[in-house]
Amino acid sequence: MHFLFETFNFFNGFHVVFLYIITSISIISGILIVITKNPIVSVLYLILLFSNISLYLIFIGIVFIGLSYLLVYVGAVSILFLFILMLINIRVSELIGDTNNNIPLAIIAILSFFIPISSILPSSDNKADNFEIINKQETQISYVSSNN
């Protein structure tokens, strides 16, 4: 019984470096999904991304959600995508094309996404303003205690 408990808690005794490695592999595979011209290879990167997300969830302790994510997305959805792409038989000559004309559109889309998000995310300037509000005399709570 002690052995089962030790194997169950194996994932919670990890180093944080593993999460950074899984996160970096997930980001790289997400970029490769979009960049890759061959859709079959793109679906394989999608399977890698889903597997990394599932592994991440298992490592942080959400084992059931991680395993169900692995079964549903990798086992069903990604394999369905791969089957459909192999069924329609895309030719290699159709994949070879000059797609560099989409780069300015991609830069505009990235900037239009990150500029509003950067104003929402907390920064060092926002934290300093919050601390000034907390440190004002009007906003502080005085405590009363009675010693009997």
- Nearest CA to 27 out of 48, 41, 58 is that of 48
Q: How far apart are CA 105 and CA 65, in angstroms?
A: 36
Q: How far apart are CA 50 and CA 71, in angstroms?
A: 10
Orientation of helix 79-88 relative to helix 39-59, angle to 10°: 180
pLDDT-based confidence at residue 48 (cuts at 50, 70, 90): very high
pLDDT-based confidence at residue 22 (cuts at 50, 70, 90): very high
Mean pLDDT confidence for 53-66 = 90
pLDDT of residue 28: 93
pLDDT of residue 23: 92
pLDDT of residue 4: 47
Residue 88 CA neighbour count, 13 Å, CB half: 10
The sign one gets for the Cα dihedral 42, 46, 51, 56 is positive
CA angle 93, 96, 98 (to 5 degrees): 140
Mean pLDDT confidence for 34-58 = 89
Tokens 């859709």 found at: 39
DSSP 143: P
**Most confident among 1-5, 8-12, 77-81, 121-125 (mean pLDDT):** 77-81
Each residue's pLDDT tens digit, 67-108? 998 888 888 888 888 788 778 876 655 556 666 667 777 788
